[in-house]
Each structure stands twice: as C-alpha cells, then as structure tokens.
Structure 1
Amino acid sequence: MRFKRGKLKILMFLLDAFLINFACFMALALRFDGYVPSQYIPYLLKTMPLATIAGLACFYKFDLYDRLWRFASVNEMFSVVWASTATSLLLLALTYMLQLHYPRSVYVLLWLLLTAFTGGYRFLMRVALGKRHQSLNFVKNGKDDMTNVMIIGAGDASSVVVEEFSRHPSLKRRPVALIDDDKNKLGMKIRGVPVVGTRECIPEVVLEKNVREIIIAIPSADRRDIRDIVEICNKTKCKLKILPGIYELIDDKVAVKRIRDVKIEDLLGREPVKVDLFEISSYLQNKTVMVTGGGGSIGSELCRQVARFKPKELLIYDISENSVYDLEYDLKTVFPKLRYTPIIGSVRDEKKLEDVFNKYRPDIVFHAAAHKHVPLMEQNPLEAVKNNVFGTLNLVRAADKYKTQKFILISTDKAVNPTSVMGATKRIAEIIIQIASQNSSTVFSAVRFGNVLGSRGSVVPLFKKQIESGGPVTVTHPEVIRYFMTIPEAVQLVIQAGAFAKGGEIFILDMGDPVKIDDLAKDMIRLSGLEPNQDIEIKYTGLRPGEKLFEELLLSEEGLTATKNNRIFVARPTHIDKAAFAEELEQLKNILIEEREKDFVEIIRSIVPTFKTLTQEEKSISQ
C-alpha cells in the first residue's frame, strides 16, 4: 500500500500518540514487575494526556515527521534519542510540578521504552520501504538491470560507497565483493558485502562474481599502490573508477558523486604534497596578491589556491581575455566573497605595469606569465626574449619601486643547461631575480620545477585527443624522460616556497621519479580500455628542435639545501658579475630593437654559458 506524504504523517502522528501512552503504562508496570499498584492508576490517567502533548510536541520539534525514513541513518537515530530524552525530561518536570510522584526509575524506563518503540517502527519502515524500492528498481520487466561492482578497499570510504549504492538503487550498481590486502578482514562483511580476497585475487573474483565495474576506494593510498592495483585491474577489462585521494577531498567528505574515472595523474607514484597551511595563510591572508599569466594553466591554479587563503584582493593579470573570463566564472562560483580584479595586459608593457603597481600596490607577486612552448620559441626566439626576459625585468623594476613584499618567479627545469631558446630565456629571468634581491627591500625568489600534467600544450591533453581520434599517439623518442607533477601539487609547493623565501633563492621542487613518455602514452591508452600497438598505434617522430632526452633540475655548480618541507630544496646561489650582466642585457635589448636575430645565439651564450644548441650529430641520434 502506498501512502501520500500527508497521510503518512497523520498515521505516524497517531501511532506515536498511542506508543507514548503505551510506554507510560509499560514503564510503570515494569517498575512493579508487571503489576500497576492501584494508588498509581489516578496518577497515570492524569499523566497520559500530558505525556501525549509533550511527546508529540518534542517529536515535531525534532523533525521526526519531515524525514524520508527510507534513507534513515545515524543522524535520524540521534534525532529519535534526543526527542525521547526531551519528552522524558519535560514529563519529569510536569509531574513534579503537579506533585504526581513516581519512582525515579519509571522515568528511565519511560525513556528507554519511548526510544525503542518510536525509533523501532521508524527503522522498520526504513527496511520495508528500502526493500520495496529495491524490488522495483533492481528488476525491470523481469530482468535484472544492475551492474555488479567490486570495491577495492574495506575501510570507511568503501563503507560509505556501499551504503550509498544501497540507498540509491537508481544508480544501478550492486556491490558484490570487497578486496583488501589486510588478511584479518577476509571473510568479514561491510553492510552485507563480503571481503573476498587481496589484490592478487581481483581477476579471479571478477569472473566468479560477474563483475563489470571496479571502484578503487582507498583515499589514503599512495600512487604506487594505485598504479599496482590499476595494472591488475586492466587485465580484467572491467570499467575502472576511483574515489579521489585525501588531497582532493578538501572537505573530507566521501560520496558516490566524487567517484570518477582513473586519470593518469593517479598513477604518478608519489606521496601527496604536504604544506604548512598556517605559514601560507600568514603571508597571503589580507594581502593584495598579483598573479601574472593568471589565466594560464599554472596561473589560474595559483589564483584558485590563493583565493582559499582570503587575500585582501587578487589581481589577475593576463594578455588573454578568454582565459581570464573562464577563470572569473570559476572564482565567482567557488569563492563568491573573493575580491578580485581582472586586468588585461602584457608584461612587456612597462607603462601598463607602472599604472597597475601604482594603483593597487600588490604585496605579493607570482610571476607565471611566459612563453613556454619549446619548438615555437625556437622559431620565434626574439619573442621569447621580449616576454620571458624583458617582461620579467619590467615586473621586477615595478615591484622594487613600489616595495612589493615578495616576488616569486615560476621557472622551469629547462633553464638548467638549456638546449632551447625558451630554457635559456628562463635562466636569464632567474639571474635577474637573483641580482634584484641583492639591493632591494623586496624578497625576490624563483621556483624551478618540471612538467605539469594537463597544462596547455603538455603531452597529456595531446595524447587524449590522439586516443579519442583513434591514433596514432605520437612520441618524440622511445627513451625520452620527463619529471611530472600535477598542477595542484606544483602550485601548492610554489605557494609554500613563497613562505620560505628570504631573497635570492632558487627553490627546486622534488618532482619524484622521472617518467618515460613512452610509458605515459601506453598507460593512457590502457586507461582508455585499449591496448597499445594493437588498438592504438604509437608512432615515434624524433626529438623536436631544442628538445632534450632528459631534463635536469640543477646546474653543476649548484648544490641543494633542505627546507622544512621535504619536497622543497634550495639551490646554492651561483656567482654573477652584475656589471657584465647589465651590459649584456643592454646588448640583448639592442638586438631586439634592431631585430638582429643572427647575433642572438652569441649574446645568449655569453649570458648563459651552459646554453648549448644541439649539434647535427646529436640531432641525427635523436631521430
């Protein structure tokens, strides 16, 4: 029988009234071993109407009539307990005022019975309604349309996932098995779902239980474990999902809606980044923070993460209006109280920067604006110099003039022993920062790291497009290796390094183990449910102009010093002849003015002695 919502409320109201009175009678009867003494009968008749009014009022106050009891959980149980407690205490006060003196144990028995009776039938409703709903949804037209799901992990997260699938049959997922490496859990059940084996048993259990989807629900697992599990799961051809790691669950809430496809970022094999939130907050909170290149991959993530620390104002400075427009939408949605100002402009525009610094007086500057694509800058070397070198110089001068507190340059591993114009210009930018820090009240520092997964122009978006179009996936060389980080990881460490900065440092981020691009391509193909060189071809195209087989994070003359964060190091400063550097910069400026591109390599090499273009022999080897 199906009740409308209003009728169900009335029925529950009447049932509660009966159970309140029955509980009063039973409490008194139990106190006297099943017999109610005659002297308490008048008391009971006077008490029952009071108990009914008090109980129904308390139940209404605690919203016991406005809940969907089919989804009842611990919160609803506590509401019943609090409502019964309030009813018992109120009745105690009323009977004492009216001098209806019952033994004290009667009130305790009343509380226990009231909780058991009113809570009991509500949770029986949960079971009955849940079973009915499942029977309507699990079998449709006589056919079971549920997908059997295996969940990896038998902890709190998997318990929540199992419960949510049970409560929401419309998701059409039926958990049939749990996998956990803790052998003490084998044979045990979580909400009726058994723990059937360790990760080695995954293929066998998939066949036995007819599993079609696997969910990895271990938020605390490191990426090496995730990678190992994914490799085993890939053999089963099941659809593979994952519950994000703790670093993504900012509010610590586990929910089915957070389950997503496994991404290549999940397989990097490193511990999540740990940062000192107090240190970060102390230098960003209530400060005017400027991010150049604010609409780019790194810049936009910097803006999002800085916004978490409640700056006084966020200045988003970028030449691309479309990128800033997209970022604005995100900030408005996630940080509605954030005060921010989008500024469209180039770091090359010295006058524009002067006006911005004069008007807003930024306390902190994160300089992420740069030309970064190696092959493009090989073809347009003077543009790289204009943006990466003199754009940085313009910013540094403005920051120094208007007494910015901290200035953090985003640099790259390609600045170390560069073989590309882009890398050489970023190395010059680092030198500008180190020299500026020597005679300024502003703290100038740089942060150097490798590739970030998912940034514009990186291999991951390219590989995704190639896989979606059916291949081939193009890899420059089978032996090429790179350091990788996720964008959020890199940005968290950049912000943390800013807290450590005292002036002149080049911070080096621990990028973990280098990754073969060839392996990265194969992993992405497998994550798409395909096989490399069977379903999707991998094609080797040869190194591009200015590209190296491997990148370095440290110059030979630099050494590393540890910081409080075991993922951030400081490179020992190298000696720089300031007078010679100033003269060389002037020469470089003249080359730009006169557009003497033929003299470009010579002057760059004099500024960055480690700059080396690939020889013809090296280029032929790379093919």
Structure 2
Amino acid sequence: MSRDSALPAGKTASSDRALWLWSQILLDSLAWVVAILLAVFLRYEMALSTAKIPGIILLCVLAIAAQVAVGSAFALYKGRYSFGSFHEAKLLVMVTISVSVILTLGLLTFGISLGIARGTGLIAFPFACLFMAAVRYLKRMYVESKAKPGEQAERTLIFGAGFVGNNIVTRMSNDPASPWLPVGLIDDDPAKKHLRIASVPVLGRMEDLPEIVQRTQATVLLVAIADIDSVRMRKISDTIAGLNVRVLVVPPLKDMLTGRQDFSFREVAIEDLIGRQPVDIHVEEIAHYVTGRRVLVTGAGGSIGSELCRQIHAFQPAELIMLDRDETGLQGTQISITGQGLLTGKDTVLADIRDADALEAIFLDRNPEVVFHAAALKHVSLLEQYPEEAWKTNVLGSLNVLRAARAARVETFVNVSTDKAANPTTVLGHSKRVAEKLTAWVAQQTGLKYVSVRFGNVLGSRGSVLPLFSEQIRKGGPVTVTDAAATRFFMTIPEACQLVIQAGAIGTGGEVLILDMGEPVKILDVAERMIAMSGRDVEIVFTGLRPGEKLHEDLIGEGESDSRPLHPKISHASIDGLDPDRMSLADWKSRQHLVSASTGALDTVPLAVAPEDDLESDGRERAS
C-alpha cells in the first residue's frame, strides 16, 4: 500500500518540477523579447518603424532558440544548482553572454537585410541578464517567505555572528519545521554592528543582552561559537541570570564536521561553566605506537576505559581487546564503537583483575603489545569502610595485571592513577600510590616502558561530584558540600584519555606523568552554579571533610620532581619502585586506624609494607 501511495506523490513532485522548468524557459524567453525591444528602442532613440518589426521578430526567435540551446548545454534547466544561488547566477551570466555573442554574430551577417543595428545584441545583454536574475530572486524571496518557522517556534537569539552562527541562522530561517525563530544576533565584534544574516540583524553585544531579551521577548539564547571556553561561557550565563532564558550550545565543531553525532543543540552543562580550556597535547601526532598493534584495555566498561577504547580505535590498532568484569559496561562500550552489542566477538573479554590465573591465561593467549590499565575501585568513602577491597582490586589486581603483562612481554604499559596518590591520606590514595610503585618496580626489573598517569577529578565520570549534585538537585535537595573552601582539579574525560594515550609515547619506564590542570575549582561554586541552572531553590548543607580527605588536592607529591622535558603542561615525576614481596595485607589491615587519624604525607602512614620494614633506617622510601 505504501508503494502505491508513494507513486502518485513522486509523479506529482516530478510534474511540478517539470512545470517549473518549462515556466522558467518561458520567462527567460520573455526576458529576451523585452530586452531586445528595449535595445531597439534605445538604439533608434525611441523611434520604431513598422519596417523593422519582421527583423525584430526574427531576432527574438533567434534569441529564444539560442537561450534554450545554450541553457540546456550548460544544464541551466536541469536543476543542477540550487535555485537563486550564486552558482546559478554565475551560470546565468555565462549563458546570456553566449546568447548575446550569437545574436551579435547573426546581426553582423544578416543585420543589413533585417534592418536591425548590429549592436542590438550587445545592448540587449544587460537587460536580459537583469530580468532573468530578477525573476529568480523574486521566486527565491517567495520561497523563503513561505519557509519561515511557524508561530509555535521559540523566539531565539543567536550569540555569535561568525561562520557557525551564519549557517545556523540561515538554516533556521529557511526551515518551516524549525522549533526556533531567529529574532536577533549578538556579537562583540564592532565590525558586525550593522550586519544582517538572512534578514536577521545583529542587535548588540554581550552586555546588551538583558535589554535585547526584553525588547525581542526571546526565550532561548543559542551560543553559536564552536568550542567556546568556560570563562566566556560563565560571562554569558551570569549576564542572562534571572531573565528566564534557556541557554543552548552548539556541539563541538569537530563533531559537526565529521558527523560523529546528529546536528543538535544541547542544554548548557555545568562542564561548560567550570571546565577549563583543554590542553592541546596533539595526541594524534604521537599515538602511532598503538597503530597496527594489539592493544588491551582493562576497565573497558568504565567512564575512562570506554572513552579510552573509543580514542584508541580511531588510531586503527591491529586488535583492540576490551576487558572488564562488568558485562553491561562492556556491551555499552562495544555499542559505542561498533554500533552493535552482540558480545560475540573476540574484542570483549569478561574477566576480573583479581583473578591472577585467568588474567595470565588471557594475556598469553591474546599476546597484547600495549596495555592500558584503567580498572579500579575509586569511591573514597566506600573504600574507607572496606579497605580490604581496595587492597584486593587496586593493589593486588594491579599487580596481577602487571605480572600478566610481564609474562606476555608487553612492551608498553600505562597505569591510570589519581591525584589522590600524591601525598595520600585516604585508602584510595594509598592503594593507587602502591599501584604506581608496583608499576615503577616492574619497569625497573624489565627496562620496558611501564608508566603511570595521574590526574584530578574527571567531569562526567561515574561517581564524580557532578552526577551526585544533579541527583540531589532533582530530588529537591539538600546539596551536600564537605567544606566551603574545598577545591578540586577538574578535567574532561576525552582530555584525560588523551593524556593516558600520550603517556605511552613520551613516558620513560617508572615515571608518573601529571597534567597541569590549571587552577583548582571550589566545590561550593560548582554546587551554586548547578542550583542556579536548575532554577530551583535548593539548600546547601556542609557536612565536613571525611576521614583522610584533603581540603585541597595535590598533583605532585612531596619529594617528587616537576620536570617537563617534552611538553610545558605535562610533568614527569620519578618514584621508587616497590617489590611486591615486601607487601603485607596484615600490616595494611592493622594500620587502617592510622589513615583516618593522619593528615600527613606518604611516608607518615605506611600501609603496605611488612612489619619488619618499620625498623629499616637506610633511607629507602616505604610503600604506602
């Protein structure tokens, strides 16, 4: 039934198109007739004798025939170019020049017998070209007037009159189904003060937004500046605060150009307001070490691991092996990369890093050449209650992965760590610090590139503060903040993964690579901005710092160097390795009460050394 119904519709569209093309040929022919009459009148000073009428008729016939022939030869009437576009206008000029040349040649040959001056064709050319262009322009104006968004469309201001804003305004203005009606543009460039795009004017600058919103009655502000930095985004947000205007932002320019996602606008997120300008580390220039290699990622179903897999996949490894104990997370990662979640291929491996025998069997069977270790437990409060779980996963699990990698002769190993491993005061920090030391020890034993990467809080990752605040706000509060002065470093998931990939290229065995994350952000500011964006009246409650929690995080620990030999934003710190034979679970458990009582640095609370090591006084750094 659908095929039968589609046929008449197709025929109707084809018939309408053919009708328009024939009508255009007729109008172009009429344009030449009028142009020739005007040319003759002007040439003979408005005096036209009846003796010239046959010659005029023959000249008009020749012009019409030439227009149809040349126009068809140049595909002017085949719909090759958008109607009324500059491309069609250029083609129209070429066709009319060609017809004018034909008329002139005809008059040079037969002009005396026809009684028409030989320059008539040249005089008629500008008139014919003008009339044809005018008809097309009028039709374009008519079509565009019919294509305006409907009455239900929201009145929208567009911030940014550059390339992105220009294209968006034009698209909105010519789409009757658009849910947004552009009523004005905002731009801080004085040169664009009187600019109009698709009849939409530039109304002012950022500081004029309150007055412009009131004048235009706009309910939406679209930020049409691709990859806008957070400082400018905060200024925009603060300027329209309280105006009851919804803010939308365009997707990243890279996504728009590469088609990674549908062209859609999104609500402004807290990441846009508190994020910083990402450090350009040119990962594509140094990620060649994963191209054509067998790469294994542990924790592939997590926030960091899944993005890591997506970025690695773009560099075309010979094989990407995604390992996790979370089958749902694995499926989500596989879907994001392949578009399918069948879990039937060899790219997904279900295994727990606590199982040393299973890991070694997998590594020896799949023989990876590059390993990214992102599997870990990371919730601070939960690990304070269950420190043995941190020992099993973050310490012994990491050791299992390292031993399996060593057995399989893995050439490059990158351990994903955290800023809490710098001068650690929590179970999480201590466990990740031990993982760094174990990685350094294997590097020292093998001479291979086994490195760690340390960074702060990752925006949008599972378990981070942003999802917690969002859920608290959704439930009406209160929003819980530990301390009004507490600060944290933030970075985006893609940026964190870029650093992880780069570490495998520029790191030296045993090093810890640390990204300069700029200025720390106050947690209270994050909470206040998220509440303001929600439009709700939500209370903020201060709960106090949790046991072992720092007021301000460190990126580089005491005694660690801050060398930046290859990139001005990436530090290389060397740490001592830890022989796994010196680790003791009994000592770990016996010293847990010191964790909550201590606010000292790494060596103040040794958690993972054998009791007899406490008596050593040879200056070796103890593991924590």
Letter in 2 for 1:597: K
Take 2:214 and 2:601, find their aligned partners in 1: how far apart are those partners? Answer: 64
- Is residue 168 from structure 1 mapped to residue 175 from structure 2 by the alignment? yes
Q: Does the aligned pair in 2 maintain the 1:298–1:487 contact within 8 Å?
A: yes
Which residue does 1:18 correspond to in 2?
A: 26
Match of 2:548 among 539, 546, 549: 546
Distance in 2 (alpha carbons) for counterparts of 1:109 and 1:611: 97
CA shift in 2, pair 1:220/1:378, >3 Å:
closer
Q: Does the 8 Å CA contact 2:595/2:605 hold for their aligned counterparts?
A: no
Distance 1:306 1:114, change over 3 A: farther
Aligned with 1:258: secondary structure?
coil
* Aligned counterpart for 2:207 among listed residues 200, 203, 215: 200
User: Deviation per CA, 1:265-311, whole angstroms, max 9, x where unpaired?
Assistant: 11125223313244234222222221110000100111111122222
Matches within 5 A, 1:292-441: 292-333=298-339, 341-441=347-447
Mean Cα displacement is larger for which, 180-189 or 552-561?
180-189
What is the percent sequence identity of the aligned residues?
36
Contact 1:211 1:238 in 2 (8 A): yes
Match of residue 526 from structure 2: 520
**Aligned residue in 2 for 1:218:** 225
Instruction: State the partner residue of 1:618.
Output: none
Residues 58-77 of structure 1: pairs in structure 2 closer than 5 A:
58-59=74-75, 63-64=79-80, 76-77=85-86
Q: Is contact 1:295-1:318 (8 Å) kept?
A: yes
Which of 79, 82, 87 is matched with 1:78 structurally? 87
Structure 2 vs 1, CA of residues 125 and 425 (structure 1 numbering), >3 Å: closer, same or farther?
Answer: same
Distance, in Å, in 2 between the alignment partners of 1:277 and 1:603 is 38
The equivalent residue for 1:276 is 282
Task: Pick closer, same or farther for the CA change 1:237–1:391 going to 2, 3 Å.
Answer: same
Q: Is the 8 A contact 1:80 1:119 kept in 2?
A: yes
Query: Does residue 1:560 correspond to 2:562, yes or no?
Result: yes
Q: Deviations over 1:549-571 (max 9, x none)?
A: 22111111012112443332212
Answer yes or no: is 1:129 the counterpart of 2:143: yes
- C-alpha displacement at 1:38, in angstroms? 10
SS of aligned partner of 1:562: coil
Counterparts of 1:548 and 1:612, CA distance in 2: 18
Q: Which has the larger radius of gyration?
A: 2
- Check whether the contact 1:77–1:119 (CA below 8 A) recurs between aligned residues: no
User: CA contact under 8 A between 1:301 and 1:488: conserved in structure 2?
Assistant: yes
Residue pairs, 1:578-597, within 5 angstroms: 581-585=579-583, 587-588=584-585, 591=586, 597=589
Paired residue type of 2:14: G
Shift of 1:221: 3.4
Aligned partner of 1:426: which letter? K
The unaligned stretches of length 5 or more in structure 1 are 140-144, 614-623
Q: TM-score, normalised by structure 1?
A: 0.80
Measured after TM superposition, the shift of residue 11 of structure 1 is 2.1
Distance in 2 (alpha carbons) for counterparts of 1:409 and 1:172: 47
1:157 pairs with 145, 155, 164, which one?
164
Aligned partner of 2:456 among 450, 456, 459: 450
Structure 1 residues 366 and 610: alpha-carbon distance in aligned structure 2, compared to 1, 3 A threshold? farther
Distance 2:365 2:236 in 1: 54
1:305-358 deviation line (CA, Å, top 9, x unaligned) = 11222222211100000111112221123999xx97011101122222222222
CA contact (8 A) 2:100 2:125 kept: no
Q: Is the 8 A contact 1:288 1:362 kept in 2?
A: yes
* 1:477 maps to 2:444: no
Which residue of 2 is the match for residue 609 of structure 1?
603
Q: Give the conservation status (yes or no) of the 8 Å contact 2:170–2:197.
A: no
Cα offset for 1:453?
A: 1.3
Task: Indicate the larger mover: 392-401 or 549-558.
Answer: 392-401
SS at match of 1:560: coil
CA displacement, residues 203-255 of structure 1 (integer Å, 9 cap, x when unaligned): 12222222222122222532111112211122322111122444x54627899
Q: For 1:360-411, what per-residue CA distance to the aligned partner results, in whole angstroms no more than 9, with x for missing partners? A: 2222211100011111111211111111112111211222222222111110
Offset from partner CA, 1:42-77 (integer Å, 9 cap, x none): 899689657635633653896449x6x5xx7xxx54
Structure 2 CA distance for partners of 1:327 and 1:30, relative to 1, 3 Å: farther
**Displacement of 1:425 after TM fit?**
0.8
Does the 8 Å contact 1:584/1:603 carry over to 2? no
Q: State whether residues 473 and 521 of structure 1, in contact with CA within 8 Å, keep that contact through their aligned partners in structure 2.
A: yes
Which secondary structure state, in structure 1, belongs to the residue aligned with residue 417 of structure 2? strand
Distance 1:608 1:90, change over 3 A: farther
C-alpha root-mean-square deviation of aligned residues, in Å? 4.2
- The aligned amino acid for 1:333 is G
Task: For 1:38 and 1:153, locate their aligned partners in 2 and report how far apart those are by CA, in whole Å.
Answer: 60
Partners in 1 of 2:162 and 2:340 — Cα distance? 30
Could you tell which deviates more after superposition, 301-310 or 161-170?
161-170
Q: TM-score by structure 2 length?
A: 0.80
Moved more, 34-43 or 361-370: 34-43
1:186 paired with 2:197, answer: no
